[in-house]
């Protein structure tokens, strides 16, 4: 948590006329002068938020618990925390914070995270209906998403999630051999069969099932087989990404890119009415993957936040897990509000000139500067990209190759249709 320094003894009226003072100084100076928390927050809001310097917060991750029944080697939690659990009161205060900080935006999102969030199912049964009702009173709608390992999901939970409009994204890495190798239980046993049971329950009640696949180097050659296997089990949507934080050599990164292209070829030849949606491919064929980025970074700290069980606010769950799980770039707390203004400026892309490593990079217009948490792990600085850049470059090549192949396929299909039409007309007038 951000703490006041010994200097914070001036009055708010003195500080309000001093240019360059950060919100942290203003907040703690106000508190030291006897202002209440609400009065101090109001002063900060008056100086910064009402100036429109930052966009509204519309996405909030709730880190419900770091406890988990699996032991995935690539997980950023890695047993570094003492199984903290978020209280119902903190969840409710987080919703009030989101309702306030989303300003005039009517549709907001809450992502239920962990650890394994279904370990908090009992509290979620109270919290989710309350949150929907609370948002409705303010004229807002909440979209709930959950990332779960699926091992604890049964028909009761799947039915509740459906009724309460909680969309569940399953963390599942492929077929049984792939998944069991990289997502074992705490006892070292495979978890695929239990996840498959959860997937089937979601299919019965939610209908539409998404999978979050984490790709490890040794499974790159099996990527297409893993995608096809999960599609056969009823997965409708895929989010795929490489395991970050480790060393990906050029050969591994190139192999991953070519595997993505192979997945595209499989997808393109499948029936459009029944084939799954694959985000990476849709970005490529829809040209979203080739467009120019006008700012660095993701939603973290811009329009999105994560709340910890201790009520702290960080830009995202991965940044919360960085720095030996002490977190990086804390933005404030539910009680102080978003007081780390200078940090938010950087996260909002105002400090792109502070990233010299990106100045001469050919990927500058398409890359978002790398994941802040991964950057910190690899270079010690959230804003300095590391070796993960080579993976980003190869993935971008894959998107461009997929885009090229898709355009060729569309052109060939159009030419064939035109030829068929001309042949029909000729036959008709013969």
pLDDT tens per residue, range 377-426: 888 998 888 878 888 889 989 999 999 999 999 998 877 665 666 666 66
Task: State the Cα–Cα distance between residues 100 and 344, nearest whole angstrom.
Answer: 18
The residue among 17, 22, 28 whose CA lies nearest residue 344 is 22
For residue 97, the surrounding DSSP H or E stretch is helix 88-101
pLDDT at 159 > cutoff 70: yes
Higher model confidence: residue 272 or residue 357? Answer: 272
How many beta carbons lie within 10 A of that of residue 170, not counting itself? 23
Across 359-370, average pLDDT: 69
pLDDT band of residue 217 (cuts 50, 70, 90) is: very high
pLDDT confidence of residue 407: 93
Residue 224, Cα to own-chain centre: how many angstroms? 24
pLDDT given at position 103: 94
What is the CB-side half-sphere exposure of residue 159 using CA atoms within 13 A?
Answer: 3
144 backbone dihedrals φ, ψ, rounded to 5°: -100, 130
**Average model confidence (pLDDT) across the chain:** 84
pLDDT band at 84 (very low <50, low <70, confident <90, very high): confident
Q: Which two tokens stand for residue 164?
A: 């309460």
- Angle of helix 155-163 relative to helix 192-205, nearest 10 degrees, comes to 40
Q: What pLDDT was estimated at residue 26?
A: 63
Q: What is the pLDDT of residue 299?
A: 87
Q: Which residues are CB-contacts of 25 (< 8 A; sequence separation ≥ 6)?
A: 7, 8, 15
Q: How far is CA 262 from CA 58, 238, 254, in A?
A: 36, 15, 13
Q: Please state, in angstroms and rounded to a whole number, the distance separating the CA atoms of residues 59 and 223.
A: 31
| pLDDT number for residue 427 | 64
SS3 (DSSP) at 294: coil
Write out the H or E segment, with its range, that includes residue 425. Answer: helix 389-429
pLDDT of residue 186: 86
Query: What H or E segment, with its residue span, contains residue 240?
Result: strand 237-242
* Alpha carbon distance 154, 240 (integer Å): 25
Measured at the alpha carbon of residue 204, what is the angle toward residues 200 and 205, in degrees to the nearest 5?
Answer: 120
Cβ partners under 8 Å of residue 196, min gap 6:
233
Compute the distance between CA of residue 341 and CA of residue 246 in angstroms, rounded to an integer: 31
CA 176 from centre of chain: 25
Residue 424, pLDDT score: 64
pLDDT band at residue 4 under the 50/70/90 scheme: very low
Q: Is the pTM of this model over 0.85?
A: no
Contact status, residue 211 vs residue 169, Cβ threshold 8 Å: yes
Q: Would you say how long the chain is, in residues?
A: 430
Cα 298 to the chain's mean position, in Å? 9
Task: Give percent of the chain with pLDDT exceeding 70.
Answer: 79
Higher pLDDT, 291 or 382: 382
At 23, the pLDDT band (50, 70, 90 cuts) reads low
198-212, 276-290, 370-384, 412-426: which range is least confident on average? 412-426
> Tokens 């007309």 correspond to what residue?
425
- Cα(106)–Cα(155) distance, integer angstroms: 32
Lowest mean pLDDT among 39-48, 59-68, 69-78, 369-378: 39-48
| Residue pLDDT, tens place only, 229-268 | 999 999 999 999 999 866 788 999 999 999 999 999 999 9
Q: How many Å apart are CA 325 and CA 381, to the nearest integer?
A: 15
Residues 6+ apart with CB under 8 A from 234: 199, 200, 203, 209
In tens, the pLDDT along 318-355 reads: 899 888 778 999 999 999 999 998 888 888 764 444 56
The pLDDT of residue 392 is: 85
What is the C-alpha separation between 170 and 182, in angstroms, rounded?
15
What pLDDT score was predicted for residue 44? Answer: 64
Span 98-130, pLDDT tens digits: 999 999 999 999 999 988 999 999 999 999 999
Task: Name the burial class of residue 185, with classes exposed (0-12), middle (13-18) and buried (19+) by CB atoms within 10 angstroms of its CB.
Answer: middle
User: How crowded is residue 281: how many other Cβ atoms within 10 Å of its Cβ?
Assistant: 25
pLDDT, tens digit, 9 for 90 and up, residues 32-64:
778 887 777 677 666 554 445 788 999 999 999
pLDDT of 363 over the 90 cut: no
Query: How many Å apart are CA 112 and CA 215, to the nearest integer?
Result: 22
Backbone dihedral region for residue 83 (phi beyond 0: left; psi -120 to 50: alpha; all else: beta): left
CA–CA dist 327, 253 (Å, integer):
28
């Amino acid at each position: 948590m951000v703490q006041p320094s010994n200097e914070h003894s001036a009055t708010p009226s003195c500080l309000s006329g001093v240019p360059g003072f950060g919100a942290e100084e203003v907040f703690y100076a106000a508190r030291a002068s006897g202002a209440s928390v609400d009065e101090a927050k109001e002063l900060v809001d008056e100086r910064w938020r009402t100036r429109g310097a930052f966009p509204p917060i519309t996405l909030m991750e709730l880190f419900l618990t770091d406890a988990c029944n699996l032991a995935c080697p690539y997980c950023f939690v890695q047993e570094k925390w003492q199984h903290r659990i978020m209280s119902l009161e903190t969840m409710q205060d987080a919703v009030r914070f989101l309702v306030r900080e989303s300003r005039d935006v009517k549709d907001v999102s809450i992502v239920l995270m962990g650890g394994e969030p279904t370990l908090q199912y009992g509290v979620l049964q109270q919290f989710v209906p309350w949150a929907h009702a609370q948002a409705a009173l303010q004229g807002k709608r909440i979209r709930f998403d959950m990332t779960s390992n699926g091992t604890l999901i049964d028909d009761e939970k799947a039915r509740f999630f459906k009724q309460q409009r909680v969309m569940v994204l399953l963390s599942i890495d492929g077929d049984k051999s792939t998944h069991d190798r990289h997502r074992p239980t705490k006892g070292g046993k495979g978890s695929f069969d239990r996840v498959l049971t959860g997937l089937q329950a979601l299919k019965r009640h939610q209908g539409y099932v998404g999978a979050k696949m984490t790709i490890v180097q040794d499974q790159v050659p099996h990527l297409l087989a893993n995608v096809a296997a999960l599609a056969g089990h009823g997965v409708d949507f895929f989010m795929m990404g490489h395991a970050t934080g480790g060393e990906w050599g050029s050969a591994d990164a190139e192999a991953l890119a070519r595997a993505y292209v192979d997945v595209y070829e499989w997808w393109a030849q499948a029936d459009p009415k029944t084939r799954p949606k694959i985000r990476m491919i849709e970005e490529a064929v829809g040209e979203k993957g080739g467009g120019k980025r006008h700012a660095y970074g993701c939603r973290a700290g811009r329009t999105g936040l994560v709340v910890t069980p201790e009520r702290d606010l960080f830009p995202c769950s991965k940044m919360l897990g960085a720095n030996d799980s002490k977190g990086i770039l804390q933005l404030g707390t539910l009680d102080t509000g978003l007081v780390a203004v200078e940090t938010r400026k950087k996260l909002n892309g105002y400090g792109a000139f502070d990233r010299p490593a990106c100045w001469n990079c050919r990927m500058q217009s398409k890359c978002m500067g790398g994941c802040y948490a991964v950057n910190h792990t690899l270079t010690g600085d959230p804003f300095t990209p590391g070796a993960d850049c080579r993976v980003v470059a190869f993935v971008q090549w894959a998107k461009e190759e997929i885009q090229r192949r898709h355009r060729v396929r569309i052109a060939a299909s159009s030419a064939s249709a035109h030829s068929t039409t001309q042949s029909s007309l000729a036959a008709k007038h013969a």
